[in-house]
Amino acid sequence: MCAELSALDGAGSFKEDRWQRPGGGGGISAVLAEGALFEKAGVNTSTVWGEFDDVALKKLGGGERAFHATGISMVFHPRSPMVPTMHANFRFLRRGADSWFGGGADLTPYYPQRGDVIAFHQVWKDTCERHGSGLYDRYKRWCDQYFYIPHRSECRGVGGIFFDDVRDDPEAAFAFVTDACRNVVAPYLPIVERRRDEPYGERERAFQLFRRGRYVEFNLVYDRGTIFGLATHGRPESILMSLPPLAGWWYDYKPEPRSREADAMAFFQPQDWLATER
């Protein structure tokens, strides 16, 4: 994956860090910074285990202290505001005798193009439907609910799929996760190629930083992976790898009526993107 993304970037390469977690486990963090396409891109793998301390137990709930977690996560923050950010992660957790799968993939454009959003969702629908009728509809709704930012009354982006606590059929869940991992970059590459050379200026860059602020707010306040990683004393550099290198907050920002920015904001609500395709 890192080799494929480096080739796509055309200039940058990944720096790989191997780390150990006090108490059990570790992982590999690979980050590309200041590339031609990606301002920051990261691919993390980790396998950690141990016991929750009192602080973690209070934050995560339940009474079982023993845990084991393994997963892969990735995020691609492009330099150009015309190219969307993409995030994905897939994980397996065990807590005592209980175990489950979780994960998903989602798209966060700054200047969304409906055709790109539809194409992204269609690829994930095709992947989901290989493993069960109706799976996409269920995971798409779950994604819309998960990546909703209540204090902003809007979504982080335009969604994709998300699932968690999937435990009923472990073999079927693993088969789905395996298929999803093998195809995770496929819906993103065509969008990058269509948008990477589109011109932009300071106004578009400022709006990108504003929307990145929403990304940061979600990840630090609501994201389960961030909460779990910090609660279990994971490596902060790896846990917070998903954050963009630059973001912005402007007091009471409102886009100009009928502007491209106002049009973009209309995308950040749950919608049935494939309604016209059915």
Q: Catalytic site residues?
A: 87
Q: What are phi and psi of 110, to 5 degrees?
A: -100, -40
Distance CA 84, CA 52 (A): 36
Distance CA 98, CA 92 (A): 11
Residues 108 and 143 sit within 8 Å (Cβ to Cβ): no
Distance CA 237, CA 44 (A): 11
Distance CA 129, CA 144 (A): 18
Distance CA 48, CA 90 (A): 14
Nearest alpha carbon to residue 174 among 70, 259, 95? 70
